[in-house]
Amino acid sequence: MNIKLFARCALASLALAIFLTLGVETGWAREGFYVGVGAAQQSAGGDLDGTHSYADPSGSPVILAGKLGSDQAGGAAVIGYGLSRFFALEYLMANSQHKASSPLTTVTSNASFSTQVLGARFTLPFGEKWEAFLRGGYGIYEADYSTYSFDQVTGQNNRVVFDGTGTAVGAGIELFFGRLGVEFGYTTHTFSFDQAKPSGSQKLTLDPKQSGTAATTDVIFSIHF
């Protein structure tokens, strides 16, 4: 688990945020547009355990959904619009890089895992300095493996991208320094991959679908306009 890297990114970003906002008047900037970027740490499980493989109807290529390595630090971004102090619509995304493996092969793969959530955020303000929130919505998910499409004819290992949809729910707190907000959030995901695109081949429909769960921990620094 890459906790040290995640903590260093979060602390460095927080220190920079505090420095940039010194002298800024306190404001209750929770309504209207906000955008932010930050660090994220993700993990995934369920059918993403490296034991599920699928083949093109022709028999080649064979694709493999590898097991993603332990939590890795990545990036996150958010854009939203606060309709009131208590409710906002938002888009939240995160992407992380992993090493993938499988008991079905000795080949390892680089992999990226991305989550996108379109939904709502419900806020409970505590004064002008911080607030707690719940979020939830519709999720779009992708797992991109660099070498887990196996061409049975040429013997080459190629890229394969799994994609699907699901739902997400999460919670967290946000601290305010003037118009700058610092969010500490945790989001859980439940999803299904129903398609996969091997490099150089047509997109495949997965039968059965590949069900998965994931978790995203984020530290995001947002500007509230």
Domains along the chain with CATH numbers: 3-20+32-224 (2.40.160.20)
**Whole-structure pTM value:** 0.84
pLDDT in tens, 100-135: 999 999 999 999 999 999 999 999 998 788 999 999
Taking all residues of the chain, what is their mean pLDDT, rounded to a whole number? 87
Rounded distance, CA 88 to CA 186, Å?
17
Q: pLDDT confidence of 138, banded at 50, 70, 90?
A: very high
Q: Which whole number is the average pLDDT over 197-221?
A: 92
Count of alpha carbons within 13 Å of 179, Cβ hemisphere only? Answer: 10
Task: Using the predicted structure, report yes or no on whether residue 22 has a pLDDT greater than 90.
Answer: no
Q: Which whole number is the average pLDDT over 45-69?
A: 89
Contact 115, 214 (CB under 8 A): yes
Q: Which helix (H) or strand (E) holds 176?
A: strand 157-177
24 sits in the region (left: phi over 0; alpha: psi -120 to 50; else beta) called beta
Q: Tokens standing for 219?
A: 């530290």
